Amino acid sequence: MQFGAKYIVDLSCRALAVMCAAWVFNACTDDTFDPSVGKYSEFVSFRTEAPGGWTDGDGARSAGALHEVNIEKIGGEECGAPLYLITEVTEASDSVVEVTGSRGSDFTAATIPSIGMSAICYSEWPDDSTGMSPNFAHNIRLYKDGSGSSWAPSDDEKLLWTGSGNIKFYAYAPYSDDFGTGDGKYPGSAVHSTTGLPAIDFTVTDNVAEQVDLLEATAVCGGDHYNDVALKFSHALTAVTIKTGSDMLAGKITEVTLSGVYGRGTHVIGSPEWDFSETVKSGFTIKPKDDDADIPAQGSDNIYSKPGTEIVGGELTLFMIPQTLPDGAKLTVKFKPALSDKLVSENEYTLTADLKGGKWLPNTKVVYSISSTGIVITPKIDADPLPAILHPNGYVNDWKMALYGELVQVGHKSPEKIKLPIKRVEYSTDGGLSWAAGEWHNGDDSKAGLSDKVARSFKLDAQSSFTHMRKFFTEKGLDINSEAGTDVVNLAAKEPANCYVINKPGYYSFPLEYGNARTGANAYTYMGAPIADDNPSKPFVLANFVGYDNISIAGPVITGVSDVVLVWQDAPGLISDIKLEGSTVKFHAGWQTFTQGNAVIAARNSDGVILWSWHIWATHYKWDGSEDIEITTAEIKDTDGTVLPGATYKMAPCNLGFCEPHKGDKKREFKVRLIVELPLPDKSKAEKAVSVTGTMTQEEIVASLAGDNTYYQWGRKDPMLPGVWNSDTRENGYKGYGNYDTQFNMDNKKYYSDDFTFERAPSTVSIGETIKHPYRFYMHNNYGGDKSPDDFLRRHWHDGSTGTEYKNKGIMNYWNANLSEMSKEDAGIINNKEVQKTIYDPCPPGYNVPSSHAFSTFSDIYGPGGMYFDDFNTKEGYYPDIYDSEGNRIGWKFKNGGNEVFFPATGLRDMGSSKNLGNDWGEADTWPAHADLTFIATASFKEATGATSYRCLIFYLDRRPEPINASSGKDDYNKICVNCGSNNSYGFSVRPVHSAP
C-alpha cells in the first residue's frame, strides 16, 4: 500500500497522543504537523550530491585510501602458464563532480533520473527503533526543478517544515515506479517497504547490460531547518568488473559467469546490511561480442596482453547486492589463448575461481583480474596539495610528496613496500583527453624512507608570452637559465639610486640610503645661487629635501628601519627572499621566474610605516652606457637674440621600466600525473600512470601590443603601475566608460602583491605622504558644476603649504637641485643647463631625468602649438610612426644624425577626469588613459602666469583620431610637442639621459 504525503502527515498528527508515550514525540504537536494550520509556510525541498564515479582497482591510491588485494591460484597450466585470480576492493570516489558513466544506469549527481523519499519525525531517537515507521512522508516521488539544482515533491504532495522536533529523511534513486517492464523502465525491481523503517527490496536483473545502479542517502535535520535538505548519495550496490592483470596471456574471452551469488535482498535505506533468502541464488552470464572478447597481444614479440584490459566492464559492469559470498559462489571464465599476436587457438579452456567468503561491500568496486603473475603492485601516493596557481613558467618547486608501491604476492596477506622510480611527469590542459611530457626533478631522497615526503620539482608547459619575453635576454647573450653561484652583487657599487637595473638572475644588494644622497649635499639641498625676493621662482624652490616625516634629511643613511618588504611586482615571482641585513637590503631574482618586469621594495619602521622605497627593474637593455643613443640638439636663439648652442646627450636605450610588446595567453587548467616504473618479474619493466589530485590554474596573460613602462607623477621618485593596451581595450575602451574609447583605451597591468593594493588617493598631499605610500596614485575628479575651486586639486598631486616645515605649495626643483629658472613654452628660454640629480630622481645609477632641451632635437616648433605630423613629414621627409605586423601603431622613431630614437606608445596615467564617467567609475579606480597620446616628463618647470598655473614641461606625441578643426582645417591633435606645459598629477613616461661625468 502506498500513501500520499498529506495522508501520512495528517494521520501522524492525529495519532500523536498515542505515540508520545512510546516514541517521545514531545516536540511534535498537532499544530506543528497539520498543514492546515499554516503556522509554518516553508515547503521542504532538497539538493543532491552523488559520487563522481567508481574508482578503478588498478589506479594509484592515496596513502589512507581503501584498497584490499587478495591473490589465489586458479590453475591454467593447460593454457600454457599458471593463472591467478586477483581480487581488488576499492571504495567509490566521494567527489561530487560530474563523471560521465559508460551507461545511463551508472548514476552521478547530474544523471539521477528520479528520487523516492520517506521521512520520520521524532523528538528523540529511541535506542530500539523497532516499530518506527515513516510518519512525515512515505515513498513520495521527488522531481527536479527547472534549474536542475533542487528537488521537491509534486504540488499535491508538498511538505511543510514542522517548526520543531527532528526529521530523518530516507532517499533512494531511481524511484521504485521506474522499475519494471516497458519503455523507460529499468529491469529488475526496487520495492519500498510498507511498514517499519524505510527499506528497499531490490532484485538484480539477469541481463547484465541492463542492470542499474542504486543510490541512497539519509539526512537528519531540525523541523525548523527551512533550507534545502542536503542528500549526499552513495552507491548502495557493489560494482563488479573483470579485466586482465599483469602478464595475462593474450587471446579471446568467450564467456564469463558469476554464479551462486545472491541476486535479491532487502535492507533499510542507509544501512550496510542486507537480508537474503537462503534459497535465492543467481547466476549472471556475459558473452562479450566478438570484438569485445579479444584480449590483444602487446606486439609480435610479446604475446601477453596489456595489463588492465577490460574483459567485463563499461556497459557490462555488474551492479550487485552487497554480501558475503556464500558457498557455491564462483567465477567461471571460458578462454581461448593466443598462439601468436594474430592467431587464437580453437581450444577453449574453462577457468574457475571459488569466491566463497569474499566480501562485496556497498559503495565499493570489486575488480577481478586474471593474471599469469601472482603479484599486484599498487602505487601509493602521499602528497601535499598542488599549488592552486601555476606560474607562467610552468614550474612547481618544492612539492613535497612520497610515492612508493605496495606489492602483494600469492600466499601473502600483508603488502610489502617497494620503491617505484618516477620516470616522468605528464600534464593535460584538456581535462585529461590528451597528455604531454613535462620535466621531472626527483630531489634528494637518498636518506628518506619510502613513505617519507621529499621535496620535488617539475616543469610543465610555459605560457608562450612568458617564453617570448625571456628570449630577448638570450638573444643578447645574457644567461638567464642559470645563476652564477650565491655571490651577492652590490647594485650601488658605483652610485646609489632609487632604481636598480638587473639583467640576469642572481643575488643582489643595495644600501639603506636616500636615492643618490651619498653623492653629496647637492642631491638633497638647493645649492644654486641665492634667489632674489622678487624672482617669481623663489616660492617654488625647495631648499632642503625631506623624508617620510616631511623633515629635512641630514645625510644619506636611512635610520629606524625595522624590515623590508615587497610592495608590488608586475611579473609573478620576479624577486623574492627580500631581507634586511644591517644597513643593507638583499633580494634574490630566481632563474626560473626571471623575465622582463618591475618590482618595488620598501623599508619600514617598527610601526609599519614606509620610510623609503626602491624600484627594481629586470630588463635585457644594458644601462651601463654601452647601448646609449647619442643625439645632438640644434642651436636655439633666445628672445634677446642670444644664440644658445646645441648640446649632445646620451639618451638611455629605452623608457624607464619598459617591457617589450607581447601577445596574450588564455587561462589554462592543468591536470598532472606521474609515470612510474613497475618492476615486473622475469620481464622488461612496465609503466603505470599515477594521477595527482587537484588541478592548477595558469592565469591569463593580457596582451600588451605596444609594451609598457612604469609611470611617474612629476617630481615623485615612485614608479606607478604600468598600463597596457590591446585589441580589446582599443575596441571597448577601459571598463566601457561611455563613449570615451579614445581617452580611456588602456588598462592597468596585472600586478602581484601580498600586502599592498595599487590604488588612488586624494591629491594635494605632502612629499612625506607620498614617500609613505609608493603604491598610491594621487588624483582628483572635478566634473560637474563650477570646476574652478577644484582645478588645483586635479592638476597637482602636491601641496606642502601647511603641516610641513618646508611650506612650499608648489616645487620646481624636485628632479634638478640647482634649478632656479622657470622656462617658457615658446622658442625663448629653454633650460639647457646641466641637471643636478636629486634624491627624488627615479632613474638608475648614472642616469637622470633630462631637461626639456634634450627633446628639442625632435621638433623645431616649441610650445603647445607643436608641429603637426603632416608638417613634420613635409619638413623631415618621413613620418615617425612605427607599426607592428598587425597594423597597430606601437610608437614613434625619430632620426638624429645617424642614430634613431624609439618612443613606445605607452600612453599616460590620467590625473582624473573632468567628465562624468557614470556609475561604472569607482572612487578607488585609477587608469592609464590614452594609448594614442604619450607624455614624456622632463626636469624643467614652466613659467607661472597665475597663482596656480605653474606646471611641468614635457615632450609629447599625440596621435588621437579626432575630427578636423573647421577653422584651421587641421586636426586639433596629431602633433609632436616639445617644451609644452602639463599638469603635475599625470603619470608620465621617463626617458633618462646619461648623467654628465
Q: Residues 39-79: pLDDT tens digits?
A: 334 788 888 876 655 544 444 445 555 567 777 777 665 55
Average model confidence (pLDDT) across the chain:
83
Cα dihedral sign, 115-118-122-127? negative
Beta bridge partner(s), residue 11: none
pLDDT band at 36 (very low <50, low <70, confident <90, very high): very low
Count Cβ atoms below 10 Å from residue 101 Cβ, excluding itself. 18
Mean pLDDT throughout 869-878? Answer: 93
CA atoms within 13 A on the CB side of 594: 24
Within 307-374, strands assigned E span 310-312, 318-320, 323-324, 330-337, 349-354, 359-360, 364-371
Candidate from 2-6, 711-715, 866-870, 907-911 with smallest mean pLDDT: 2-6
* pLDDT tens, residue by residue, 925-953: 788 988 889 999 999 998 776 655 688 99
Beta bridge partner(s), residue 286: 256
pLDDT at residue 221 is higher than 80: yes
Give the integer Cα–Cα distance in Å for 639 and 660. 42
Displacement of CA 810 from its chain's centroid (Å): 44
Give the integer Cα–Cα distance in Å for 136 and 118. 7
Give me Rg for the CA atoms of the chain: 39
Strand order in the sheet with 422-428: 436-437, 422-428, 668-678, 686-698
pLDDT band at 25 (very low <50, low <70, confident <90, very high): very low
Per-residue pLDDT, 80:
55
Phi, psi of 296 (to 5 degrees): -70, 150
pLDDT band at 97 (very low <50, low <70, confident <90, very high): very low
Residue among 390, 378, 364, 434 at smallest CA distance from 694: 390
Higher-confidence position of 766 and 929: 766
Give 282's contacts (C-beta < 8 A, 6+ positions apart). Answer: 204, 206, 259, 261, 262, 263, 264
pLDDT at residue 27 is higher than 60: no
Mean pLDDT throughout 828-850? Answer: 86
pLDDT at residue 821 is higher than 50: yes
Give the integer Cα–Cα distance in Å for 40 and 616. 65
Per-residue pLDDT, 316:
66
pLDDT at residue 234 is higher than 80: yes
Higher-confidence position of 130 and 86: 130
pLDDT at residue 644 is higher than 80: no
Residue among 435, 594, 443 at smallest CA distance from 504: 594
Q: Dig out the grid coordinates for 908 from the structure.
A: 599616460
Mean pLDDT throughout 15-24? Answer: 30
Within 571-647, strands assigned E span 576-581, 584-589, 597-604, 610-618, 629-632, 636-637, 643-644
Candidate from 188-202, 231-245, 313-327, 368-382 with smallest mean pLDDT: 368-382
